[in-house]
Amino acid sequence: MKQIAVCCLLPALAAAVHAQSPRVVVLDMLLENSVIYHFDVADPSKRGVERGPTTVDLTKIGPFNQSCQVDDIVEVNGKPAKGIHFTCAYRMNFNPNPQPGQSIADMAFSNVWPNCNWELLSKDGRFVGRMVDGGFFPHSILGGAGAFLGAQGEHYSTSIPNRPARAASVAEDPSMRRVHPGGGSYRVQYHLIPVHYPAVEMTSSGPAVYHAADFSPVTTAKPARSGETLIVRARNLGPTTPQVLAGQPFPSVAGEPLAEVNADVEVSVGGKPAEVLYKVGWPGEAGVYRVDFRVPAGVAVGSAPLQLAAAWVPSESVDIPVQ
């Protein structure tokens, strides 16, 4: 009887584990103007002074050599973005069957990356979030800030063809990185597990979605209509301008600027993209945001899924009635 009871519990336990599985978000990032600066100059006063392009003979670089790589983030998930990736590495040439000058180990790795630093900005250059990862590849995400506060996950490369990073000397002036030809271009993927996902706030009667005309809730008795402006109460949309500390209410004083969400915010209804008109911290409230959007044309009549995304992270969808 005990064995039967345990077996009967297994499906329920499996369902519970599945329900608690984290939702992984993929950030596919395009990087350009990639340059690796090799520490081939011992004299600090001679680093970063050459205005012209420099070269490095990689065949003469042995173990323990340090290098630093800098890349521009120009796209995330197919959408324009800005930002920077910066990492320093040690060339170790790990190998189970090492040649002279290589490092013996149980696996083959060329470099060790103590940490990679990512600063992600919106397409207009406002701070969205930052992350740090490192170690052997794929890298472990060590933490995040901004929209990625406390995030976990992994940093992968992709199989998409790329242009290798240009190898330069640390004697080269890094202000010329975007000027000199030959910079690398490649893609990476972040498999991200955020601590906080964007979400539509829920009430006892359903999603907190309102008609902008009179602020009445969207219900089956009063559904949304094509072209109408709706208001959503949302959470976890990330940093704003002006900055508001976590747990503090958003500005509500008349005449003062509202706290606009830095990240690009997207809304879809019935799978169709909606025009976002307004994305701010809800005045006088802590942790609640207001997003105004226009219901797109062509949404099928009935119950339609509403989904929003911020900082390239989608929310779970909720259903709203559409007429």
pLDDT averaged over the chain? 92
Q: Residue 140 half-sphere exposure, CB side, CA atoms within 13 Å?
A: 4
Residue 13 has pLDDT above 90, yes or no: no
Backbone angles phi, psi at 283, to 5 degrees: -55, 130
In order of 90, 91, 282, the CA distances from 99 in angstroms are 18, 15, 63
pLDDT single digits (tens) 240-258: 999 999 899 999 998 889 9
- Residue 249: the pLDDT is 97
Question: What is the C-alpha separation between 185 and 195, in angstroms, rounded?
Answer: 30
Q: Tell me what pLDDT residue 17 has.
A: 40
161 contact partners, CB below 8 Å, separation of at least 6: none
Q: What digits encode the pLDDT tens for the residues 171-191?
A: 999 999 999 999 999 999 999
Burial class (CB in 10 A: 0-12, 13-18, 19+), 188: buried
Select from 163, 162, 169, 161 the least CA-distant residue to 183.
163
Mean pLDDT value across residues 224-236: 98
* Other C-beta atoms lying within 10 Å of the C-beta of residue 53: 16
- Asked if 259 and 251 touch (Cβ cutoff 8 Å), the reply is yes
291 DSSP β-pair partners = 232, 279
CB-CB contact of 238 with 197 (8 Å): no
User: How many degrees, rounded to 5, is the angle at CA 283 between CA 280 and CA 286?
Assistant: 90
What residues form DSSP beta bridges with 66?
Answer: 90
> What are the residue boundaries of the structural domains of the chain, listed by start?
22-193, 199-322
Count of beta carbons in the 10 Å neighbourhood of residue 31: 23
| pTM of the model as a whole | 0.89
Q: What angle do CA 151, 110, 105 make, to 5 degrees?
A: 95
So what's the pLDDT on residue 20?
61
Which amino acid is it at 138? P
Task: State residue 320 phi and psi, 5-degree precision.
Answer: -130, 150
User: Does the pLDDT of residue 228 top 60, yes or no?
Assistant: yes
Report the distance separating Cα 109 and Cα 36, nearest Å.
18
Residue 311's Cβ-side half-sphere holds a number of Cα atoms within 13 Å equal to 31
Query: What was the pLDDT predicted at 1?
Result: 40
Residue 16 reports pLDDT greater than 50: no
Predicted local confidence at residue 198, as pLDDT: 98
Instruction: Round to whole Å and give the CA distance between 305 and 169.
Output: 53
CATH topology of domain 199-322: Immunoglobulin-like (2.60.40)
pLDDT exceeds 60 at position 226: yes
pLDDT of amino acid 58: 87
Instruction: Specify the DSSP element, H or E, that contains 27.
Output: strand 25-38
Nearest to 72 by CA among 37, 36, 34: 34
From the list 297, 280, 298, the residue with the least C-alpha distance to 289 is 280
What tens digit of pLDDT does each residue of 28-62 get?
999 999 999 999 999 999 999 999 999 999 888 88
Mean pLDDT within 281-308: 98
Q: CA-to-CA distance for 118 and 120, rounded, in angstroms?
A: 6
Per-residue model confidence (pLDDT) at position 246: 87
Instruction: Classify burial at 247, counting beta carbons within 10 Å of its beta carbon; exposed 0-12, middle 13-18, buried 19 or more.
Output: exposed
Residue 57 is encoded by which pair of tokens? 């003979």
If you average pLDDT over residues 290-301, what whole number do you get? Answer: 97
Question: In the predicted model, what is the mean pLDDT of residues 224-246?
Answer: 97
Residue pLDDT, tens place only, 115-140: 999 999 999 999 999 999 998 889 99
Spatial CB neighbours of 56, under 8 Å, sequence gap ≥ 6:
38, 40, 167, 168, 169
How high is the pLDDT of residue 10?
A: 47
Q: Kindly report the CATH number that applies to the domain delimited by 22-193.
A: 2.40.480
pLDDT confidence of 18, banded at 50, 70, 90?
very low
